[in-house]
Amino acid sequence: MAVKVLRPGVERRVANGLDSMRLGAALVWKLVPQARRLEPQAFVETIANSLDLELDMRLEAAAASEMAEVMAKDSYMSAPAVIWDGVGKRVLTLEWAPGVPMTDPALPDLPGIDKDQLADNVVRAFLVQALDHGAFHADLHEGNLFASAPAHLTAIDFGIVGRLGPAERRYLAEILWGFISRDYDRIARVHFEAGYVPAHHSVETFAQALRAVGEPVIGRAASQVSMGRLLGQLFEITALFDMSLRPELILLQKTMVSVEGVARRLNPDHDLWAAAKPVVERWIKRELGPQAQAKDALNEVISAARAISRLVQEPPRPTTVVIEKSGTPAWLVASVTVAVIAALTSLGLSLWPYLH
């Protein structure tokens, strides 16, 4: 087993560090107007919330247990079981993680290790967690990973778990799929629909800017891509189109950078997009395909029918009002209600074949 214990005084050191970060963020906000769109204070508070959770070993044990269940649903990554009798506010006990630490320089050359598949698995494990389950290990660097032949990964340290709602998961999937399929117009529309780009900008111009970033890197080996140049271009685009930092996506962005770094160190020529494609394509087909759209439409029909039913069963209580103008004729209200119910019924019947 492995036992993790908080050092004495660590809470005070974290609090002092956060105070310094808050002061720095306030100074940046006041003295550097160009940086305000990056929401430095919201960024610090996001980090502070994560650290507060990480300082309670009971919460980390719960996160480890949850993520073990999530990871067990695919074959890319696993987590050690929690030994609950050894869990307290300042102590966490887990089963021993199998495998070789990924910080070991000799790992890629060990017998039976498939470093290319390991690189693919770390990317796919992260994407499955984020897209399929909305909960992901948000600290996936080599110090928290163990590998065993041929390409199995075991993760530890679940103090930081990122969470995505349905809207953020759809945003992530559509953006990735847009780059994989080189559909820059789609990527641009998703940004505008999510409110990440102010509406006064041009969708077409934003798509053009995305193409300038994506085309030089899609399909190329990672060793041929300058990450510094790519990040510089992305930063320039966010400034050009008045894009603000999204606090809810900070952990996602941080983890994506870490995961790509792990994959590139295993295989300098690793193709991140090829590794991501099977997971993203599966999600797109399942969540946005014809059958999923039909189910969504039918659910809307059912919700509307229930609302009408509740209105009929529990009509609003009558109130005394002074009518200065003639109201809508009763025959017109009845006609519209009948027409709406008929339309909803027709739509439901037309979608029924897609649900089988």
Taken in order 44, 50, 53, 55, the sign of the CA dihedral is negative
Question: Contact, 38 vs 244, CB < 8 A?
Answer: yes
Give the catalytic positions in this structure.
Answer: 139
* Nearest CA-CA partner of 287 in 192, 170, 187: 170
Residues whose CB is less than 8 angstroms from the CB of residue 149 and which lie 6 or more positions away in sequence, other chains included: 110, 111, 112, 113, 114
Q: What tokens were used for 222? A: 């990672």
- The kind and range of the H/E element at 161 are strand 161-163
Question: Contact, 22 vs 49, CB < 8 A?
Answer: no
Distance CA 246, CA 253 (A): 10
Distance CA 333, CA 182 (A): 49
Q: What tokens were used for 136? A: 């992901």
